[in-house]
Amino acid sequence: SSDRAGTAVPAARLPRRAAAARRAVLLGGALSRRAGIGGGSTVGGHLGLALEPRLLSRLGAGRRIALVSGTNGKTTTTRLLVEALGGSAVVASSLAGANMAAGIVSALASHPAPLAALEVDEGHLPAVAAALAPQVIALLNLSRDQLDRTNEVRMLAGRWREALAGSEALVVANADDPLVVFAAEVAAKRRFVSVGGRWRLDARHCPHCGGTVVFAEDGSWSCACGFRRPEPYATLVDDALVLSDGSTHRLAVALPGRFNQANAAVAAVAAECLGVALDDALAAIGGVEEVAGRFARHRSGDVDLRLLLAKNPAGWAELLELLTAGEGPVVIGINARDADGHDPSWLYDVPFELLAGREVVATGERARDLALRLLHAGVAHRTLHDQAAALAALGAGRADYVGNYTAFQELRRLLAGPSRRAAASAPLVAARPVVAHGATRDSAVRVVVVHPELLGTYGDGGNGQVLADRALWRGLDVELLLAPAGEPLPRGELYLLGGGEDGPQAQAAAALRSGALASAVEAGAAVFAVCAGFQILGHSFPGADGAPVTGVGLLDVVTERGTTRAVGELATEADLGGVAVRLTGFENHAGHTTLGEGVRPLGVVGHGTGNGASGVDGAWQDKVLGSYLHGPALARNPALADALLALATGGVLAPLDDAEEEALRAERFAALGRRGRGAQKSGRAHGR
């Protein structure tokens, strides 16, 4: 490392109280490391903040600071930025992932460098930016992730925008992500970088006018209201960064994947904003081969394992190109702890279909959720909850491991520890055929997923896949149709609506009020609607500003904003054609729904909130059903899926082998029993 961007000299003298708090941070960190509690990166920070609430701004005073935030790529980009600024000897930086106030306090307390590059959790960016007054804020992307904590991607974008409107920082922002641009465009100083990105499903609803953001072939985007991709200062083209002045700068990145080139481009421009020559920054970045274990290769016995991290659909969308080109089995570890998000419904937004042909081992605490998803992706798989056992089950040769946040951390600990050849095996579940989206044939049972680009935020698109597959597996002629808003609603026998954010939900309702859905129901179609979709089917529901929005009126229900947001596992008992069936899922909603005279609930709540104070969930009126269950509901409750199929086809359905479904259900109900009602996470609404 060189000293071109600064040398390590003590930061500005700290006031007495802050100096004492800083010593407490270091002591707390050392003690927790010795006791083996985590890496000591946050324990000390919490202690220090308790002693001096202004510690963050005190430790930041007098330093030049760059913050890095976004849903994906924070840790990698921060690491690349550190290299570009001269290396970790001269730049204070976070330990991977310790990106909330306490972790940042620890990072600054333990390194006196006058320069800092810090990753910041998306939700904590406003507070951290206010405390640290950074020179540069680099913004990578925004997409669905840990929605049980963040509630909506759009709410995050709105809070970023408020924070950046008053910031002095030079904001380096991804021009290709409309939600990032929405936040960054109000900054007094900004530099847009065009780095692309595959995931667009959280940005189709215009944050300015509620219209539709349209993406062009070349990645540019615009809305009719005038909101459009800004002129980039720099554009990533193949392996070069092309500046608006026409100059071309070679970007050679050792890390794999197009997304890492994007991270490198943002890091390089951020470094340039702090005074490093762009080509020097790019050269330093090019040498990085692994970041906190990610992208590293690890030999474990005869297995040559590549370690990858992906924790949400956008991350997976970028990673799949690496995996389809990879060799040997793929081990996928899925947990659902605090740092992962408690609702793994998002697995249904990942096109695991692309892994067909590779042998997949589902592992981690939520291996069962993944296994069922793989069944609906047509991917052969084994299920082994224990990650050590999953590794032990691999034969010799190359393999890929992909984990979400805490699963990845646990795997690294396992690999660092003494090798444990846990003898374990699990039967291979063969790939079943699954339904692909297709054009309409009149003979088929048509399952229509309504406005997935607006009502698909919480993973409910999986309901369409599950229904169609369960029809196919019984030999029925079935088609799965995706029906975006703005196009005529296709005719079908079964319509599915999913959860969505407040703004997109109002946009979907406006499109559906045209009457196409109502006439389909009149013609005998069945409907299953979840959360935002359920609310839309009623008379009215609250819009993003809280004012009532008119619904479609197919269900005699009204939704109003509750005092707390209901977030957590939801379990109910339903009467499905005279059979009592327990339903399991996950709820995440601010609206509370009241049933009118002509409608009965779908289930009685045993755990969670459901419609609200009434102790019931959902609604059922003729062939129209609504519920607050995500999961997706029809994956976790095959009996409900079959009740809908029976409603739509009028026929008697042959039984299926539901072993994977039953295993998942047993696990979910057992988890409720263990944690009890007290574990229900409720009322964690942000800004409500």
- Which residue in the list 273, 531, 592, 607 is annotated as catalytic? 531
Contacts of residue 179, defined as CB under 8 A and 6 or more positions apart, other chains included, come to 142, 153, 154, 156, 157, 202, 203, 207
Asked if residue 458 binds ligand GLN (CB under 6 A), the reply is yes
Cα–Cα distance, 263 to 164 (Å, whole number) = 21
Contacts of residue 519, defined as CB under 8 A and 6 or more positions apart, other chains included, come to none
Tokens representing 332 are 């996928």
Q: Which stretch binds ligand GLN (CB under 6 A): 181-189, 397-405, 465-473, 501-509?
A: 501-509
Closest residue to ligand GLN, based on beta-carbon distance: 499
Q: Which of residues 583-602 bind ligand GLN (CB under 6 A)?
A: 588-591
Q: Which is nearer to ligand GLN, 589 or 665 (CB)?
A: 589
Asked if residue 86 binds ligand GLN (CB under 6 A), the reply is no
Q: Which is nearer to ligand GLN, 560 or 658 (CB)?
A: 560
Asked if residue 221 binds ligand GLN (CB under 6 A), the reply is no
Q: Which is nearer to ligand GLN, 70 or 459 (CB)?
A: 459
The letter for the amino acid at 571 is A
Asked if residue 500 binds ligand GLN (CB under 6 A), the reply is yes
Strand-strand pairing, 115-119 and 478-483: unpaired
Cα–Cα distance, 56 to 48 (Å, whole number) = 9
Q: Which is nearer to ligand GLN, 279 or 560 (CB)?
A: 560
Q: Which is nearer to ligand GLN, 76 or 588 (CB)?
A: 588
Provide φ and ψ at 200, rounded to 5°.
-125, 0
Least Å distance, CB 630 to ligand GLN, is 7
Least Å distance, CB 589 to ligand GLN, is 4
What is the SS3 assignment for 338-350? Answer: CCCCCCHHHHHHC
Asked if residue 345 binds ligand GLN (CB under 6 A), the reply is no
Q: What share of the chain is helix, strand, coil (3-state, %, to 5)?
A: 35, 25, 45
Asked if residue 144 binds ligand GLN (CB under 6 A), the reply is no
Provide φ and ψ at 589, rounded to 5°.
-150, 150
Asked if residue 566 binds ligand GLN (CB under 6 A), the reply is no
Least Å distance, CB 602 to ligand GLN, is 16
Least Å distance, CB 151 to ligand GLN, is 7
What is the SS3 assignment for 128-161? Answer: HHHHHCCCEEEECCCCCCCHHHHCCHHHHHHHHH
Whether residue 632 is preceded by a cis peptide bond, meaning omega within 30 degrees of 0, is yes
Q: Which of residues 238-297 bind ligand GLN (CB under 6 A)?
A: none
Exactly one of 481, 531, 583, 595 binds ligand GLN (CB under 6 A); that residue is: 531
Q: How many chain residues are in contact with ligand GLN, going by CB under 6 A?
A: 12
Asked if residue 495 binds ligand GLN (CB under 6 A), the reply is no
Asked if residue 182 binds ligand GLN (CB under 6 A), the reply is no
Q: Which is nearer to ligand GLN, 48 or 626 (CB)?
A: 626
Residues forming a β-bridge with 406: none
Tokens representing 635 are 């994956």
Asked if residue 393 binds ligand GLN (CB under 6 A), the reply is no
Cα–Cα distance, 138 to 175 (Å, whole number) = 12
Q: Within 13 Å of residue 444, how many CA atoms lie on the same side as its CB?
A: 20
Asked if residue 499 binds ligand GLN (CB under 6 A), the reply is yes
Q: Which is nearer to ligand GLN, 591 or 608 (CB)?
A: 591
Asked if residue 661 binds ligand GLN (CB under 6 A), the reply is no
Contacts of residue 291, defined as CB under 8 A and 6 or more positions apart, other chains included, come to 75, 76, 79, 80, 96, 255
Cα–Cα distance, 53 to 175 (Å, whole number) = 35
Least Å distance, CB 352 to ligand GLN, is 23
Is 531 annotated as catalytic?
yes
Cα–Cα distance, 533 to 207 (Å, whole number) = 20
Q: Which is nearer to ligand GLN, 183 or 532 (CB)?
A: 532
Please choose, from the candidates 557, 470, 565, 529, the residue with its C-alpha nearest in 3D space to the C-alpha of residue 152. Answer: 565
Q: Which is nearer to ligand GLN, 71 or 505 (CB)?
A: 505
Contacts of residue 425, defined as CB under 8 A and 6 or more positions apart, other chains included, come to 382, 393
Q: Which stretch binds ligand GLN (CB under 6 A): 103-111, 123-131, 483-491, 498-506?
A: 498-506
Cα–Cα distance, 573 to 606 (Å, whole number) = 7
Asked if residue 496 binds ligand GLN (CB under 6 A), the reply is no
Cα–Cα distance, 255 to 264 (Å, whole number) = 9
Asked if residue 619 binds ligand GLN (CB under 6 A), the reply is no
Asked if residue 505 binds ligand GLN (CB under 6 A), the reply is yes
Least Å distance, CB 70 to ligand GLN, is 23
Least Å distance, CB 486 to ligand GLN, is 20
The letter for the amino acid at 229 is R
Catalytic residue set: 531, 630
Residues that bind ligand GLN (CB under 6 A): 458, 499-502, 505, 531-532, 588-591
